[in-house]
Structure 1
Amino acid sequence: MQDFMIMEWVALAAICAATAFLAVTLLSRRGTNASLGPSSSVDAVWIFDGSELLDATREASEIFGQPQGSDDWSDLRDKLVPGFPGFPTSPSLVKASGQIIAPGSGLRDAKEVVCEWIDGITRVQMRNQPVRKSKGIGRAPRSDSEELRTLRVAINNAYYPVWRVDDDGSVSWFNTAYETLCMTVQGQKPGPDTGLFASQNEPPIPTKRARRSLTVPETGQKLWFDVSVVQTDAGTLCYAVNVNAVVEAEAAQRSFVQTLAKTFAQLSTGLAIFDRNRQLVLFNPALIDLTALPADFLSARPTLLSFFDRLRDQKMMPEPKNYGSWRDQMADLVEAAASGRYQETWSLPSGSVYSVSGRPHPDGAVAFLIEDITAEITLTRRFRSDLELGQAILDKIDDAIAVFSMEGNLTFSNKAYQKLWNVDPEKSFAQTGVLDAIRVWQEKCMATPVWGDIRDFVLIQENRAEWWAKIALTSGEVLICSIHPIHSGSTLINFSRSAAAPAPIREPALELNAD
């Protein structure tokens, strides 16, 4: 019985000891949590009653050290404010807001100081910044201070000047590119009154964009910028983008267009360019002279169909055979011009002749070229008429005549020649050479060395003096063959049946049967 009681006392003592140990452990943890908060046990915590420091953790004591005066809050603020610029100046600010969080300015060790008002006690805790969710997709989470530092680095490393203008027109903030530009143009660092662009002193508006230029004093070079102005609650933000390349390209384009315009103005060929909407966008003075269309009509940018309708009304194009299919003809004309297949010769009622061609241009545009070829056509017709007249005259001559060029090709023959040798060179696709002609002559003549002399006379172009020789046909008829050098190295050969032979100028080297 006694042993049983002893065992009960031992068990009771063990239970009491375990309960005491558990209570101490729970109270210890509770006290730790009350001092350090939800963060890890390495956070530094200070407890203040007003400005007086009541307690601090070991980590906090290592940071703060020993207070140097009665105002412990001011000493702690002096210690923390370089790394935490937002640390409150007095506990009263914490009491008014309930909680103040001062983010650190460092990026590698991102920390923050949390000041809380708890039942008349101010609790200050230095802890690691909690990871906040990022609004962007695929972007690593970051703290507000880290994002602020990133934005500062991004703005200061931007190639474009950015600055802020207050309502009174003074420059209150700028980035590194603005400072560099100010040093280049003005030779001094920017200040509130050293504005670069005149537009910054104008009344701010919600959005504005204008092109401004700055001149470098040393070189006289102009720097061009597109300046955008955006009004915000913090002031007017200005952005300047360097557009020197754009300005130079525009100047080169204007110069090129002016050069083309001057060139087109000197052309005798009429030019009309229609854009992808088939409206006239460019024409030259020659078009007015050739088409007799008024300048005000062309300057009004008529459509392509209106342009050709007006040409038809002015009788400056051939009359259509069927007015009902006029639109279809114009559609076919535009389609052919867009593919570069339109080429026609217009014979006008006035007697003039125009050559009209259509050519495709970039971006769906179409160009029409109108050229007056009346003089060329008239000259060609006159030349063809002269040739026909000469041919008709020579065809009336009884002598057989053949003309060979310097290269030895047969260029002309009359009907007497064709009848004598029973050939028609006009019906042959290939050119007839002097050797081909000699073969025909040899077949119908007795053997004679005259043919070799004729060949040499035509091809070698030596000893260009007139001469003649007798040749005999296989039928026994004797012909007088006379050879005459004519213009441009050509040679005229005449076969005559005349009984009375002319006085010989030169006998062939080996004449057979001179009698």
Structure 2
Amino acid sequence: MALLNLFQFVVPVSLGLLLGGFILVLLARFDQSGHATGGQDAPAESKGEGADAAFLFEGRMLLQASDRATQLLQPSTTDGSAVGPHSLDDWGLVLCVLRPRFPDLPDDPSQFRASPGESGQIRLDSMAGAAAAAHIVVEWWDDWVRLQIVDHCHDQEHAIPSADMSEEAGWLRLAVTGAPYPIWQTARDGRVLWANTAYADLVTRFERRSPEDMTTAQGFPIMFDVPLQTECDNASYRLSIVPSGSVQPYWFDVRCLRIPSGWMNYATDVNAVVNAEIAQRNFVQTLTKTFAQLSIGLAIFDRQRQLALFNPALIDLTSLPAEFLSARPNLLSFFDRLRDRQMMPEPKNYRSWRDQITDLVAAADNGLYLETWSLPSGLTYRISGRPHPDGAVAFLFEDISAEISLTRQFRSQLELGQSALNAMEQSIAVFSATGVLAFSNTAYRKMWHIDPDSGFAEITVIDASRHWQSHSLPTPVWGDLRDFVNQFGDRSDWQAEVTLRDGRMVACHVAPMPGGATMVQFMPFEKCIASATRELLPSA
């Protein structure tokens, strides 16, 4: 009886211990596999060479993660916010962590199954191929997806990062994500696999898409039409994008670096630089059009002393071929060609010709060069040199032949008029509107014993009247004459008589002239009588 009672006590205890051990085994297996079946038959766990991390998703929501998987995600939230351009959901967060190594991960876990309720399993290799450092075993059933990362290469370069390395990678990821310039990763076919906040802001600004659209299966749009390269390891492009609803392009310099999974791309906003270049180009075109209308020849040489800019007037004035000027000759060749075409004075000593050109450039650099060239053809050119910023120098060629001809003609007329005045018997003095002596003839110099051209000082009507008064007897004529010369408005000529200190009588005739000038004539009485007698006597 006692034995029966003992058996009845031991059997339930043993069954309880066996059942408890069985439950503990199931719980341990549950914790290692990283997911609960939820009453459903789950596919068998993949046999890898080392399961370092496992994730279990229901839709896009993370249900459970192993300790190693949690370590991978922890650096992503070091600053208290999710890694990525905006606040991401669980699947998007895992994509940010794993996609740089596993670019074949889809934007949405539903893309694994071909039809609802389907179950299956695939293997995704890392970016280096089948013999890579790690691969992912993906299992799906119903609405669950399980990711298991299998690491089968334990060298430092390819192994799954340790906790310290993951923390450092997290900080680096935060730095790249918060960079002020767009950075994005593309696959070999051009798909955008990852992008930082600046790229997402660019999408929002130019495509008018909300941040939520970029956390769904649609992912990031392709903002830059970067050519797909297969030969070089890096390339640089200047590309433009046009905002939605606008026609004004925005320019970026894009640099692409090859990585095993595709390309890493960096964009720099150079819109201000491009606009400045366009404005500069338009300004140069405006200057070129303006220079084309000038009658003065323009030749600008850069700091290397090569012809950088010229206008059509230079071709007309120098007769140099346009092909020669377009070839950007240096300064010495330019002046040598002018000399060969006799478009500049022939140097007396050709050996010192190059030294003269060097002195000419030095004078132009200081803004001191100004010469007049009288050419064998009869033309006269005025050549001036002006310094320009950055060591450039400009030469201006101006045809002053007409000006020189007009000046010579005017001078000839003046000499002719002066000769005519000198041939007259009357003493003549002409005062300008300001009362300054402008002309006088030889008879005037002899009568009043004065040479107005002997000094540099101007002789006014006051100075002249004082001199006249010193050589004549007192008379009010000189005061009246001064007032007449300085008078404005309508005036009429008048005559008077003055007596010189030697007793001679002199007739004075004062007449207004155009422009406010005044002419004063002096003639001794005996010459007046002789002239009147000649006029009264009948001609033979």
Q: CA deviation at 1:169?
A: 2.0
Name the aligned partner's letter for residue 341 of structure 1.
L
For 1:161, the equivalent position in structure 2 comes to 182
Q: 1:155 & 1:200 partners in 2: Cα distance? A: 24
- 2:188 touches 2:261 (CA, 8 Å); kept in 1? no
- 2:208 touches 2:244 (CA, 8 Å); kept in 1? no
Q: 1:332 & 1:69 partners in 2: Cα distance? A: 101
Q: CA deviation at 1:375?
A: 0.4
For 1:211, the equivalent position in structure 2 comes to 238
CA 1:358–1:68 in 2, change beyond 3 Å: closer, same or farther? Answer: farther
- 1:204 touches 1:236 (CA, 8 Å); kept in 2? no
Q: 1:255 & 1:237 partners in 2: Cα distance? A: 36
Q: 2:51 & 2:292 partners in 1: Cα distance? A: 82
Q: For residues 149-185 of structure 1, give each alpha carbon's deviation from its aligned partner in whole angstroms, at most 9, with x where no partner exists.
A: 3323322322211110012321110011111211222
Name the aligned partner's letter for residue 190 of structure 2.
G
SS of alignment partner, residue 147 of structure 1 = helix
Aligned ranges 1:3-402 → 2 under 5 Å: 70-72=26-28, 75=31, 93=50, 102=71, 105=75, 107=78, 143-188=164-209, 189-190=213-214, 191-192=218-219, 194-199=221-226, 201=228, 203=230, 205-402=232-429
Question: In the alignment, is residue 406 of structure 1 matched against residue 433 of structure 2?
Answer: yes
- 1:467 touches 1:482 (CA, 8 Å); kept in 2? yes
Name the aligned partner's letter for residue 389 of structure 1.
L
For 1:56, the equivalent position in structure 2 comes to none
For 1:431, the equivalent position in structure 2 comes to 458
Q: CA deviation at 1:462?
A: 4.5
Q: For residues 289-326 of structure 1, give each alpha carbon's deviation from its aligned partner in whole angstroms, at most 9, with x where no partner exists.
A: 11111111111111111111111110111011112211
- 1:315 touches 1:349 (CA, 8 Å); kept in 2? yes
For 2:449, the equivalent position in structure 1 comes to 422
Q: For residues 77-120 of structure 1, give each alpha carbon's deviation from its aligned partner in whole angstroms, at most 9, with x where no partner exists.
A: 979xxxxxxxxx9998489xxxx8957537599xxxxxxxxxxx
Q: CA deviation at 1:143?
A: 5.0
The farther-off stretch of 152-161 and 394-403 is: 152-161
RMSD, aligned CA: 2.9
Name the aligned partner's letter for residue 434 of structure 2.
E
Q: CA deviation at 1:147?
A: 3.1
- 1:291 touches 1:316 (CA, 8 Å); kept in 2? yes
Aligned identity (percent) is 50
SS of alignment partner, residue 432 of structure 1 = coil
- 1:73 touches 1:90 (CA, 8 Å); kept in 2? no
Q: CA deviation at 1:235?
A: 2.7
Q: 1:434 & 1:425 partners in 2: Cα distance? A: 12
For 1:460, the equivalent position in structure 2 comes to 487
SS of alignment partner, residue 160 of structure 1 = coil
CA 1:193–1:154 in 2, change beyond 3 Å: closer, same or farther? Answer: closer
Give structure 1 stretches of 5+ with no counterpart.
Answer: 1-66, 80-88, 110-141, 503-515
Name the aligned partner's letter for residue 163 of structure 1.
W
Q: 1:157 & 1:226 partners in 2: Cα distance? A: 19
Question: In the alignment, is residue 440 of structure 1 matched against residue 467 of structure 2?
Answer: yes
Q: CA deviation at 1:144?
A: 3.5
Q: 1:72 & 1:331 partners in 2: Cα distance? A: 94
The farther-off stretch of 146-155 and 270-279 is: 146-155
Q: CA deviation at 1:197?
A: 1.5
Q: 1:107 & 1:195 partners in 2: Cα distance? A: 29
Question: In the alignment, is residue 495 of structure 1 matched against residue 522 of structure 2?
Answer: yes
- Between Structure 1 and Structure 2, how many residues are aligned? 392
Q: 1:414 & 1:394 partners in 2: Cα distance? A: 6
Q: CA deviation at 1:373?
A: 0.3
Q: CA deviation at 1:73?
A: 7.5
CA 1:91–1:353 in 2, change beyond 3 Å: closer, same or farther? Answer: closer
Q: CA deviation at 1:204?
A: 7.1
Which TM-score applies when normalising by structure 1?
A: 0.71
Q: 1:485 & 1:147 partners in 2: Cα distance? A: 103
RCO higher in structure (CA 8 A, sep ≥6): 2
For 2:90, the equivalent position in structure 1 comes to none
- 2:505 touches 2:525 (CA, 8 Å); kept in 1? no
Q: For residues 361-416 of structure 1, give each alpha carbon's deviation from its aligned partner in whole angstroms, at most 9, with x where no partner exists.
A: 11111111110000000000010011011111111112111111111111111111
- 1:165 touches 1:237 (CA, 8 Å); kept in 2? yes
